[in-house]
Chain A
Amino acid sequence: MSSSLQSLNRSATGATGPLAALSDALWRRPGLFVFLLLVLPVLWLGIVYLGSLFALLIQSFFSIDEFSGMIRHEFTWKTYRELLNPINLDIIGRTVLMATAVTIASAIVAFPIAYYAARYAQGRWKAFFYLAIMLPLWSSYLVKVYAWKLILAKEGILNWLFTSLHLNGLLEMLLAIPVIGGNSLSVSYIGTFLVFLYVWLPFMVLPMQAAIERVPQNYLEASADLGGNPWQTFRHVLLPLALPGIIAGSIFTFSLTLGDYIIPQIIGSSRLFIGQAVYSHQGTAGNIPLAAALTVVPVVIMAVYLWVAKRKGAFDAL
């Protein structure tokens, strides 16, 4: 062989020094290596996050003294019993209903977008769809809510549009529907629903797109070849295969709606959602036990939801 290859004098044992010694030690004990990698993040998330959640959970078993307004640091189920009174049940029911409506609506609106983003993921179109979904997803939450305040205002663009098109009657009919209607869009459930739908929609599109992308095109062709019309292909091939993505997306839309307290405060009627109730109980009312018990409700709902989602394989689509 040639000269410079020959002149290479390879030592049998390799490098020495503290770093090399550390490397050897970790190589021999892979368990220790994983432990060292995990110790910082687990300490942080375990202490800061789980610790706080635990502190919250404990407080939900305390109660508030009606006379002094002080918190009694004794174990009791009293606060949880309070959850079952009609006012709180009403709040919980309303929130879950809204979250369900928002989730279903975003699945329907998101599907066509996700479908095209997944199917036409080539070259320029790929970049177009990616940015068209990512930019609204990541733009400021408050700015998005603010934009809807502008849109739904009495003197705003939506009323202007209805007036210009002479469709005022339609808008009034919509607002005349009991419960979900109201004096104007910005103080009605319809308005709250629209803003929720708008703000969380990208969270549904993204996992849905990822799931549809994983369905090979020739499955759809095979279904068509076997005589399936587009609806049948959608119903029996695409939908079942894209389901994990839809469930993954619904985790976001559902959870985010359950816990939000800003949107209904700015756009909507005066009736409370869970988040608003929690906020007011822990703030002005100073009833931290009840606030804590109220937050346990969405946690339990989400725990069940996540458990079901996991069984359906939705986590692989995240």
Chain B
Amino acid sequence: MLKLAAGAGLLFMHLPILLIFVYAFTTEDKTYQWPPPGFTLKWLAVTWNRADVWEAMRLSVKVASVSTVIALVLGTLCAAAVSRTRFFGREAISLLVILPIALPGIITGIALRSAFNLADIPFSFWTIVLGHATFCVVVVYNNAVARFRRTSGSLIEASMDLGANGVQTFRYIVLPNIATALLAGGMLAFALSFDEVIVTTFTAGQQATLPIWMLEELVRPRQRPVTNVVAMVVVLITFVPILAAYYLTRGGGNTRPPGN
């Protein structure tokens, strides 16, 4: 009974995504007809030649890359501070990092927009990045904190005991032990930014990232077959970092202190 419910639940989670893959090849271009009257590869080629799709894709990749780098730096610093030492306001820092993702995205979005308005900052590439980096910090932070926690604290003491100062300890012990966690966090941050739409609608102005392009299609469908193909490509693109992040953090067991 429980098994059946679990199976049904999993199907419910996956079938809609699989449907996207079917629709990308349908010959129908005016409606969302099911079952598809026929299958064709034609829309792949049409989408390939669309300049607006490429433009949106380029912007999304650029925003996601820059936001990821910023999130990596900020998230790692926070994680190091929170996990290595006990200090006043430690909880407040955790809360501050989690808040941008715990509060509804529309709040972050409208808050940023009203701040840009008040400060007379025109919309640009950087206004998008400002928003994205803010909510990407938390994924890097979570990954790094988890790894710091699993990395035995005595490793750092052992390194210092053997003559390595703080800088050397970071270079030879801390960094190699957290590297895969950071890479995984960075991948997830990239996927998060690449896909974000709610905050972006408030911070992008006239610029279109790929999700914004899709949102316009969703509200006012004009070119269904191209949207179908773009949807499939987006699924495939976000799967790559997810799978990579999974394989990077999977082998993390060897960072546990030996002997326990």
Direct contact of A and B (CB under 8 A): yes
Instruction: Show the binding face of A for B, using Cβ within 8 Å.
Output: 14-15, 19-20, 22-24, 26-27, 30-31, 33-34, 37-38, 40-42, 44-46, 48-53, 55-56, 59, 109-113, 115-116, 127, 130-136, 138-151, 153, 155-157, 160, 198, 201-202, 251, 255-256, 258-262, 265-266, 275, 278-279, 282, 288, 291-292, 295, 298-299, 302, 306, 318
Please indicate which of the listed interface residues A19, A52, A265, A278 has the most CB atoms of chain B within 10 Å of its own CB.
A52
Which chain A positions have C-beta within 8 A of B9? Answer: 109-110, 112-113, 201
Q: Is the CB of B96 within 8 A of A42?
A: yes
Which chain A positions have C-beta within 8 A of B214? Answer: 142-143, 146
Which chain A positions have C-beta within 8 A of B137? Answer: 41, 44-45
Q: Is the CB of B102 within 8 A of A292?
A: no
Q: Is the CB of B219 within 8 A of A266?
A: yes
Q: Which stretch, B11-19, B48-56, B172-180, touches the partner chain A?
A: B11-19
- Residue in A37, A138, A145 whose beta carbon sits within 8 Å of that of B238 in the complex: A138
Q: Is the CB of B103 within 8 A of A279?
A: no
Q: From known contacts A30-B85, A42-B93, infer whether A146 and B227 are also in contact, taking CB-CB under 8 Å.
A: yes
B 10-53 to A, binary, CB cutoff 8 A, 1 in contact else 0: 10111011011001000000011111000000000000000000
Instruction: Show the binding face of B for A, using Cβ within 8 Å.
Output: 2-3, 5-6, 9-10, 12-14, 16-17, 19-20, 23, 31-35, 70, 73-75, 77-78, 80-81, 85, 87, 93, 96-100, 102-108, 110-115, 117-118, 130, 133-134, 137, 163, 165-168, 188, 191-192, 195, 197-198, 211, 214-215, 218-219, 227, 231, 234-235, 238-239, 242-243, 246, 250
A143-B234, A259-B104, A295-B107 known; 10 new pairs, CB 8 Å cut-off, are A20-B167, A22-B166, A24-B165, A113-B6, A140-B211, A140-B234, A140-B235, A142-B197, A144-B17, A147-B20
Q: Is the CB of B85 within 8 A of A14?
A: no
Q: From known contacts A27-B166, A260-B106, infer whether A50 and B96 are also in contact, taking CB-CB under 8 Å.
A: yes
Given the complex of chains A and B, what is the CA–CA distance between A298 and B105 in angstroms?
A: 11
Q: From known contacts A41-B137, A153-B32, infer whether A259 and B13 are also in contact, taking CB-CB under 8 Å.
A: no
Q: Is the interface of B mostly helix, strand, loop or mixed?
A: helix
Which chain B positions have C-beta within 8 A of A30? Answer: 85
Q: Is the CB of A282 within 8 A of B197?
A: no
Sampled A-B contacts (21; CB under 8 Å): A23-B167, A34-B81, A34-B87, A41-B93, A42-B93, A48-B134, A51-B115, A52-B115, A56-B107, A109-B5, A112-B2, A132-B10, A135-B242, A138-B191, A139-B235, A139-B239, A147-B20, A156-B32, A198-B13, A259-B198, A278-B106
Which chain B positions have C-beta within 8 A of A141? Answer: 195, 197, 211
Q: From known contacts A116-B6, A258-B104, infer whether A19 and B231 are also in contact, taking CB-CB under 8 Å.
A: no
Which chain B positions have C-beta within 8 A of A113? Answer: 6, 9-10, 13
Q: Is the CB of A147 within 8 A of B17?
A: yes
Q: Is the CB of A136 within 8 A of B17?
A: yes
Which chain A positions have C-beta within 8 A of B218? Answer: 142, 145-146, 149, 262, 266
Which chain A positions have C-beta within 8 A of B74? Answer: 40-41, 44-45
